Structure 1
Amino acid sequence: MNHGHDLLKQPIPLLIRKLAVPTSVGYFFNTMFNVVDTFYGGRVSTDALAALSLSFPVFFLIIAIGAGISTGATALIGHALGEGDGEGARRLACQTVSFGLLHGVLVGLLGLYLAPLLFTILGAKGEVLDLALQYMTTIFSGSIFFLVNYVLNSILTSTGDSRSFRNFLVSGFFLNLVFDPWFLYGGLGIPPLGLPGIAWATVLVQALGNCYMAVRVRQSGMLSRFRWRELLPDRRAYWQLAKQGFPSSLNMMTVAIGIFVITWFVARFGSDAVAAYGIATRIEQIALLPVMGMNVATLALVAQNSGARQWERVVEVIYSALRAGIILMACGTAAAFFGAGLLVRLFSSDPEVVRIGISYLRIEAFVFIAYVILYTSVAVLQGLKRPVFPLMIGLMRQIVLPIPVFYLLAVVLGWGLYGIWWGIFIVTWTGALTALYYVIRLAAQLNRREAVSPRPPGEGQG
């Protein structure tokens, strides 16, 4: 069975680079995929651009379910591999696939049913509401393809393979460059589909990705002796996946709810504010790409090394990831602050949209390092199969604090949009420092555990 990089032996900084760089490159192209969608949405109309911005928190529900299941599966399969239980890891991989298929169907059905309510809560009306519903109806119809790619990637990531998903995301970007204008404007037998055409392009790319990722998982050896009956739900495996995946999904859903909350407050200031916020968050995603790569690397490394009970290496992962992330994000902070005007103008020439986007980025730039601390801490805890505390942090950061803080600053004190931007700053740093305190204490406990009962050389490294 090919397990990619030897996550239990090679130097930690080297492994972080090997895992994080392909992931970051992949997520860069995934973000550019979304930028292309935003570009063509803006060519349709300002209402279409606002509809895309409003669709993101709804679309994020799919991401939350997929990422949660993927995180739980990576932790479980990585632990099994670290313990030397290759057959157990293979069985978990089979169950992960069926678990993802089942939830892909459920997410699609629930999304189609709830989308009108969700957009109404967000304040969408008229043409913006119609366009948002057209877009998300297509996306939810293809949600199973998104979920399958997430679970297949979790299997590969647990073995140390982050290149396959990168290859899919890079290829998907270039396919989207062709599909978006084709489906939007029509041609070669395809009628002009308008904004829903952008959604159909996304679904088609995901479906093609399923084919490639399935081949790569098969080649990895994890499903080399795959039998269809192994997809039948196993109560114990499903419980393990649910116990690890659902808190992670709920944590991601708190992000979706947090986006709902922010968008609801921003929408009170008009469609220009919503469009500006949508553009600025796309730019923010690009700046945070290195963090996302290290997040995946941290999860995989902590999972396997904790499974092998190599606690000294787990602690080294924590501090190496934090150090590298903070250095990178210091550069990102400078770029976002000083280049805010240039970056926002790449997506809109509307003076009001540009003004609002700049105001957001110049405050949000100083939150980037908080995201490094927060995401790394969460990845460590998930890799250690401790997903509940990250959920508590998520609830505090996305729901408990934002509503009163935004209301106080934006409404009571009359700061308007600046109250929302500074509210994000305060809430994110509060969550980051809380998570950091918890993880530093945990690292001290792991160091003591290593001193008391170090792992015998070679044990459990199958």
Structure 2
Amino acid sequence: MKQPLSLTTDPIPHLVWRIALPMSVGMFFNTMFNVVDTLCAGWLGTESLAALSLSFPLYFVVFATGSGISQGTTALLANALGAGGKAEARQVFAQSLLFATTAGLLLSSIGWLVAPSLFRLLGAEGAYLHTVLAYMNVILGGGVFFLLPMILNSALSAQGTTWVYRNFLIAGFAANVVLNPVLMWGWGGLPAMGVAGIALATVLVQMGGAVFLWSHASRTDFGHGLKLHDFRPDARTLRRIAGQAVPAALNMLTIAMGVFVITWFVKHFGKEAVAAVGIATRIEQIVLMPAIGLNAAVLSIVGQSHGAGLPQRVREAWMTNVKIGAGLMLVGGFLVWLLRGYAMRLFTQDEIVIGHGRDYLLAASLTLAAYPILFVTVFAMQGIKRPSYGLWMGIYRQFAAPVLVFHTLAFALSWGLWGVWWGICIVNWSGALFALAWGAKKF
């Protein structure tokens, strides 16, 4: 393993790039992994493509749970490492793996029970329902293996090591490109599994990732030589993990709530508007990719610095990441404004959809710089073990403020779709300004 960085002494700008860049590269390939799944499902037919879309709510619950446990583990481990508590770090690591395994098994069991009713509620019947369940049942079968790689990565990230996860995501993308057609069409003598083959390919990649990441995490000071008794449930440690993980997971779930709220308002203006926002938000997510790695950087640096009792370094880490993120997205916003029409045409030739998407991206070009301010502050607060901040910010930004602002601008003031587009800008910048004020007070 490469020599770990010193998160409490190395220059912060140097650490930010060393931690953030590999993570951003890895997340790009993770996004492309999902693009490959979508393309392959499209080759199987509209029903298979719809099955992937319909399964998103249940899939997202698994992802949000893993993300919450991962953030909580990184925060607790980084604090312990910063304070020099290797024994505590060892205990947190072992109990986090136990927590994630238990949560994964529980999610799979509940998912199998509720999936048929949930998908019927969403409109799936007959062959369509069978296709959705063929995909989702396999995904749920590998529930533990979606969580374990995230937890193992969080342990490595706590000491500033993100290149391992990057390498897994790159290799996982390449493996998925090969496995998807082999499993869904049955090449090489294997039976054709259809959409279930796409799901199995994903599970196999996650299983491989768990093995690969464990091979590195088990060599750390806190992961080396773990014994079976280390995984005996410890109520105090499990409560600490839950205290960090549950608010972070709920914050992630507010994202799904936010998507629902935006879609509910946009649907009043026609299916072209709904299609436009779907395309435009994907373009927005691609532009945001360079700033995503800053979340891992600020969480690990702030966590260790807080644990080491270095408040000035905590503040410097927060401000450095805010400045870098906002700066990157000011450039990204200019590019979105300049290329918004061309970007929309890469996805559709429908002029009405393009027009709506171009309008959305105009407002988004002015909103982009707000996101890293919000995200960096939420992850920094997680680093000082204040996860509830992110949850309350998520409720405000994804539900409370949008419902009020969108309705006022779009309907009460008759701005129409522009009311939604500018409403998103207003809500996120109000949240970002609050985050700056809150961060200045707390760090």
- Give the Cα–Cα distance (whole angstroms) in 2 for the partners of residues 196 and 267 of structure 1: 31
2:199 is aligned to 199
- Give the Cα–Cα distance (whole angstroms) in 1 for the partners of residues 300 and 122 of structure 2: 36
- Give the Cα–Cα distance (whole angstroms) in 2 for the partners of residues 280 and 236 of structure 1: 45
Number of residues of Structure 1 aligned to a counterpart in Structure 2: 443
CA shift for structure 1 position 381: 0.5
SS in 2 for 1:221: coil
1:12 is aligned to 12
2:363 is aligned to 363
Which residue type is aligned with residue 147 of structure 2? L
Task: For residues 189-219 of structure 1, give each alpha carbon's deviation from its aligned partner in whole angstroms, at most 9, with x where no partner exists.
Answer: 3444444433332222111111111111112
- Give the Cα–Cα distance (whole angstroms) in 1 for the partners of residues 345 and 38 of structure 2: 13
- Give the Cα–Cα distance (whole angstroms) in 2 for the partners of residues 3 and 43 of structure 1: 45
Deviates more, 1:273-282 or 1:75-84: 273-282
Deviates more, 1:275-284 or 1:366-375: 275-284
1:244 is aligned to 244
1:447 is aligned to none
2:28 is aligned to 28
SS in 1 for 2:188: coil
- Give the Cα–Cα distance (whole angstroms) in 2 for the partners of residues 59 and 83 of structure 1: 36
2:138 is aligned to 138
CA shift for structure 1 position 82: 0.7
CA shift for structure 1 position 370: 0.9
Change in CA separation of 1:276 and 1:122 when aligned onto 2, cut-off 3 Å: farther
The 5 Å alignment of 1:358-437 reads 358-410=358-410, 417-437=417-437
Whether the 8 Å CA contact 2:78–2:158 is kept in 1: the answer is: yes
CA shift for structure 1 position 95: 0.6
- Give the Cα–Cα distance (whole angstroms) in 1 for the partners of residues 140 and 232 of structure 2: 25
Whether the 8 Å CA contact 2:91–2:230 is kept in 1: the answer is: yes
Whether the 8 Å CA contact 2:86–2:221 is kept in 1: the answer is: no
2:267 aligned with 1:254: no
CA shift for structure 1 position 324: 0.8
- Give the Cα–Cα distance (whole angstroms) in 2 for the partners of residues 242 and 266 of structure 1: 36
1:213 is aligned to 213
Change in CA separation of 1:363 and 1:196 when aligned onto 2, cut-off 3 Å: farther
Change in CA separation of 1:43 and 1:426 when aligned onto 2, cut-off 3 Å: farther
Given the two structures, how large is their TM-score scaled by the length of structure 2? 0.90
Whether the 8 Å CA contact 1:142–1:203 is kept in 2: the answer is: yes
2:183 is aligned to 183
2:303 is aligned to 303
Change in CA separation of 1:33 and 1:79 when aligned onto 2, cut-off 3 Å: same
CA shift for structure 1 position 267: 5.2
SS in 1 for 2:156: helix
- Give the Cα–Cα distance (whole angstroms) in 1 for the partners of residues 193 and 411 of structure 2: 41
Deviates more, 1:225-234 or 1:371-380: 225-234
Task: For residues 97-141 of structure 1, give each alpha carbon's deviation from its aligned partner in whole angstroms, at most 9, with x where no partner exists.
Answer: 111101111222233334456556667789877655544333233
Whether the 8 Å CA contact 2:299–2:380 is kept in 1: the answer is: yes
Deviates more, 1:337-346 or 1:395-404: 337-346
- Give the Cα–Cα distance (whole angstroms) in 1 for the partners of residues 422 and 176 of structure 2: 35
CA shift for structure 1 position 416: 5.1
- Give the Cα–Cα distance (whole angstroms) in 1 for the partners of residues 425 and 197 of structure 2: 36
SS in 2 for 1:401: helix
- Give the Cα–Cα distance (whole angstroms) in 1 for the partners of residues 24 and 86 of structure 2: 28
Deviates more, 1:124-133 or 1:64-73: 124-133
Change in CA separation of 1:406 and 1:325 when aligned onto 2, cut-off 3 Å: same
Given the two structures, how large is their TM-score scaled by the length of structure 1? 0.87
SS in 1 for 2:64: helix
1:67 is aligned to 67
Q: CA RMSD in A?
A: 2.7
Deviates more, 1:257-266 or 1:431-440: 257-266
1:290 is aligned to 290
Which residue type is aligned with residue 293 of structure 1? G
CA shift for structure 1 position 349: 4.7
- Give the Cα–Cα distance (whole angstroms) in 1 for the partners of residues 146 and 418 of structure 2: 35
Which residue type is aligned with residue 229 of structure 1? H
- Give the Cα–Cα distance (whole angstroms) in 2 for the partners of residues 340 and 320 of structure 1: 29
- Give the Cα–Cα distance (whole angstroms) in 2 for the partners of residues 400 and 171 of structure 1: 40
Which residue type is aligned with residue 301 of structure 1? I
Whether the 8 Å CA contact 1:75–1:299 is kept in 2: the answer is: yes
Whether the 8 Å CA contact 1:57–1:259 is kept in 2: the answer is: no
Task: For residues 320-364 of structure 1, give each alpha carbon's deviation from its aligned partner in whole angstroms, at most 9, with x where no partner exists.
Answer: 111111111112112223223333343445555544444433332
Unaligned runs of 5+ in 2: none
CA shift for structure 1 position 430: 2.2
Change in CA separation of 1:73 and 1:25 when aligned onto 2, cut-off 3 Å: same
Unaligned runs of 5+ in 1: 444-462
Deviates more, 1:196-205 or 1:373-382: 196-205
Which residue type is aligned with residue 280 of structure 1? A
CA shift for structure 1 position 411: 5.1
- Give the Cα–Cα distance (whole angstroms) in 1 for the partners of residues 426 and 123 of structure 2: 25
- Give the Cα–Cα distance (whole angstroms) in 2 for the partners of residues 269 and 203 of structure 1: 39
Task: For residues 157-178 of structure 1, give each alpha carbon's deviation from its aligned partner in whole angstroms, at most 9, with x where no partner exists.
Answer: 1111111111111111111111
Identity among equivalent pairs (%):
44
Whether the 8 Å CA contact 1:3–1:159 is kept in 2: the answer is: no
2:86 is aligned to 86
Change in CA separation of 1:420 and 1:141 when aligned onto 2, cut-off 3 Å: farther
CA shift for structure 1 position 266: 4.4
- Give the Cα–Cα distance (whole angstroms) in 2 for the partners of residues 396 and 41 of structure 1: 35
2:160 is aligned to 160
